Chain A
Amino acid sequence: MSKTGERTRSLTRAAATLLVAAAAYEATARSGLFPPALLPTLPAIARTLVATTLDGTMPLHALHTLYRVAVGLALAVALGLPLGIAMGRVAAVEGFVLPLASALMPIPSLAWVPVFILWFGLGDTVSILIVFYAALFPMLLNAWSGVRAVNPLWLRAAAAMGANGRALFWKVIVPGASPFIIAGLRQALLRAFIAVIGAEMIAASDWGLGWVIFDAKEFLQADVMLAALIVIGAIGFALERLAFGAIERATVVRWGMVQPVKD
């Protein structure tokens, strides 16, 4: 009884917190202490969100952002995953790539935005490259540590049972490294999403959620900004919870590499 009782109480309290926070915000917004352009009421934000969704602009902005994330992330995986695995298997590759990666990694991806704007002009290329830069290092380093973390006993056992190089790679090393690789992918996606918003703000194109927020500032449209923030939060939440939960269940949990998360 106590377990479910506690759980209901937690849920009630959580709901109460959110309601109180919303009411406090609404009261502040309506009190007239701040101009409504800076602090719009909740119904105004909801109206803006519905209106921009219905006329198709908000979904289109979201699609542009997701497209940039997808392309940049795909490039990062295409380079980072094989390179990371090669680093884990071949000492010479590790010796060459690791110092470069350690030197480049502490540079925030956004620092490259002005340079990339000069090189490639405004638009999609800059955002995609920034996403690529942000996503590359988590992918690379996780693939590398994943391959190195494969239990050497498994390798020797497989080799003793006559596995050739290819079987060893596909049947032992890749599944063995997969929890790290999935974790790297998740980290890379998170970084990519953070980077794309910043890149869109600075490398102002004409579509994208980051651009909407920044552009709305010029016109003091706080309702548009908050509506776009809600969309960004929803996408971030969906990517994190739904996409990765599904990928994990289909791979590492099914292979018995990690325990499913109990709720």
Chain B
Amino acid sequence: MSELAAATALRSTERVNARLRGAVRTAFPFVVVGAAWEAVAHAGLFPPRLFPPLETVAAALARLTANGILLHHAAETVLRLIVGFALAAVVGVALGIVMGRSRRAEDIALPLVSIGAPIPGLAYAPLFLLWFGTGNLPAILLVAFVSAFPIVFNTWTGVKAVKSVWVRSAQAMGADRARLFRLVILPGALPYILTGLRLGLAQAWRILVGVEMLAAVPWGLGWLIFGAREFLATDVMLAGIVVIAVIGLALEKLVFRRLEEFTVVRWGMMA
């Protein structure tokens, strides 16, 4: 009994050690780069306003977090991302499914989607600003518009990729249209749809920061960075970029991995 307990304890310390080693190994490159940054910043080669040492950036990060400004900027950015992306997800998945199921809809929609897709999203930004004014409306619409393309394409491909054997056997077993759609087509196309949503979200995230710089929105991380340029506040810019990196990482690691685990992996569609 005590032997077993000892063995378990040993194994858990081993696991803790392994995790510790992994953390150290991951931290090592950041320590090296951070040290190099510090060395350059303190060497006085560049003016400290333009190349602030890390402690200044950390101080700016702490200051802006403490007085809530950074949180407000981040909240506005995330809100825009969610609204724009939700719009794109609803419209994009619906359009993609219709295109995948109906030959006529495919023939009508595909040329329009194919023409719009190869143009970089930000190129539409001035047009949207001209048509919809400045502020939230053009920013959200543009994010939705740009992130809809990968969602439409992947959903369409996914619906077309559902094996016709599955569809026919479901029909032979007497599934009506609603059940066929809910129980065969939707689960079958879901891995593609999730890929599309993930690509769409990544696209939305990449463009949102740029849009916030152009659209003169009152709050938002893109605006924070862009506005800080006027005051040569490089520390504020870098603090903003750190927050952007954290949000981007969280979107990828938390949101989508979870979503996949709960749906396609559980249904055995993907390993």
Please report A residues at the B interface, Cβ cutoff 8 Å.
Answer: 6, 9-10, 13-14, 17-18, 21, 38, 95-97, 99-100, 102-115, 117-119, 193-194, 197-198, 201-202, 209-210, 213-214, 216-217, 220, 222, 225-226, 228-229, 232-233, 236-237, 240
Contacts and interface: CB of A to CB of B under 8 A. Distances in A.
A110 B210 contact: yes
A104 B111 contact: no
B249 A9 contact: no
Contacts of A102: 249
A240 B118 contact: yes
B213 to A, nearest CB: 6
Contact of A194 (B26, B122, B213, B225): B122
A184 to B, nearest CB: 16
Interface in B51-104: 51, 103-104
Given A114-B229, A118-B232, 9 more contacts: A17-B111, A21-B112, A99-B30, A106-B252, A108-B248, A111-B221, A119-B51, A210-B122, A214-B125
Interface in B233-271: 234, 237-238, 240-241, 244-245, 247-249, 251-252
Contacts of A226: 127
Contacts of A213: 123, 126-127
Contacts of B103: 6, 10
B119 A110 contact: no
A119 B49 CA distance: 10
Nearest to B230: A114
Contact of A233 (B109, B111, B118, B210): B118
B184 interface: no
B108 A114 contact: no
Contact of A114 (B32, B115, B225, B248): B225
B107 A10 contact: yes
Residue of A18, A220, A233 most packed against chain B (CB within 10 A): A233
B121 interface: yes
A115 B234 contact: yes
B124 interface: yes
B29 interface: yes
B110 A14 contact: yes
Nearest to B202: A106
B228 interface: yes
B217 interface: no
Contacts of A202: 210, 213-214, 226
A233 B232 contact: no
Contacts of A201: 122, 125-126, 210, 214
